[in-house]
Amino acid sequence: MPQDPSVAGFYDRLAPDYHLIFPDWDASMARQGRALDALIRTHRAAPHTAEALDVLDCSCGIGTQAIPLARHGHRVTATDISPAAVARAAREASARGTRLSTTAVADMRSLPFADARFDVVVCADNSLPHLLTEEDVHRALAEMRRVLRPTGLLILSTRPYDEIRRDRPTSTPPQLGPAAPHARTVTFQLWHWHDDGERYDLEHFQLVPEEVREGSVAGAPEEAEGEDWDVRVRRTTYWALTQRQLTAFATAAGFTEPTWHTPEETGFFQPVLTAGAPRQEPRHLTV
Ligand SMILES: C[S@@+](CC[C@H](N)C(=O)[O-])C[C@H]1O[C@@H](n2cnc3c(N)ncnc32)[C@H](O)[C@@H]1O
């Protein structure tokens, strides 16, 4: 498949540090889980019940959405293309006494599940834009639709790429990691736009405080000078799909009523696309 082969490697390397992007990962998980659960309850057939649903998170990463959705009572299957991320999602869930029904390494373009297996498919926090061609985006959305039951719900979130494509920024603001137990980690990205104006290569920087400088001896003068920083840089590529493009892809893959929701409406930190899975066969791709 033509996807950048470094995507799994990028997230395998990032998996141990992924939580450092957030000032408080558990608090972010709780917020994101609340917002997604509310969307599920609003858009599914039985919104006012506490019914447990079969949810697939097909780009679960270290579990930022999968873990809190399981805590909301859903039966969550968590998959991702990065083996290290999936392994960490399973560990983090059990460390919190939460059960993920299944965890597995899987490519969203070829999901290892039977047709109509899930009530909800989640693909959150800018995962789909890792796919760089029309063919791959179509394939992934067609797979998400295939594994959804009739009346099932797709929930997909991306960066606000309509605004971003207008300005084409070349960096992101620094994000500060947890305040304890050490000094804060700093995460930021440098973006290098392709000539097409739609795709960009990103360099993901994390500045991680070193507790003790390598080679220093406790009490030696260099330790008294303060902490040093470990700089970790990882690279990958994104396709900054606009809401219009993604809506067209979702429709072409057979979804109905594709609807974008703002963060103000949902409480989720990114724009969210919801769409329904009907019974009919998907139509041909026309973007
Ligand atoms: C920005 S991270 C978000 C992860 C998680 N949803 C979260 O919010 O913490 C994007 C995720 O998409 C996954 N991903 C990228 N391409 C994929 C593919 N083809 N199939 C499955 N997962 C993929 C990456 O491995 C990564 O875990």
Residue having the nearest C-alpha atom to atom 12 of ligand 1: 127
Phi, psi of 50 (to 5 degrees): -95, 25
- Expressed in angstroms and rounded, the spacing between residue 60 Cα and the centre of ligand 1 is 6
Question: Distance between alpha carbon 96 and the CA centroid of its chain, in Å?
Answer: 20
**To which residue do tokens 């858009």 refer?**
43
Residue spans of the domains in the chain: they are: 15-162+241-277, 163-239
DSSP string computed for 179-221: -SSSSPPEEEEEEEE-TTSSEEEEEEEEEEEESS-TT--TTSH
CA distance 73 to 180: 30
CA distance 183 to 64: 23
Q: Ligand 1 within 6 A of 80 CB?
A: yes
Which residue type, as a one-letter code, is found at position 281?
A: E
The residues that bridge with 122 in the sheet, in sequence order, are: 57, 155
Residue 50 — very low, low, confident or very high, per pLDDT cuts 50/70/90? low
Ligand 1 atom nearest residue 108's Cα? 20
What is the pTM assigned to this prediction? 0.91
- Expressed in angstroms and rounded, the spacing between residue 276 Cα and the centre of ligand 1 is 22
Which option is the CATH number for 15-162+241-277: 3.40.50.150, 3.30.70.1290, 3.10.180.10, 1.20.1090.10?
Answer: 3.40.50.150
Task: State how far the alpha carbon of 218 is from the alpha carbons of 2, 176, 211, in Å.
Answer: 50, 28, 11
CA distance 171 to 189: 5
Tokens of 63: 């579990």
Quick: pLDDT tens for 89-110: 999 999 999 999 999 999 999 9
Q: Ligand 1 within 6 A of 85 CB?
A: yes
Quick: pLDDT tens for 148-182: 999 899 999 999 999 999 999 999 999 998 876 66
Q: Ligand 1 within 6 A of 107 CB?
A: yes
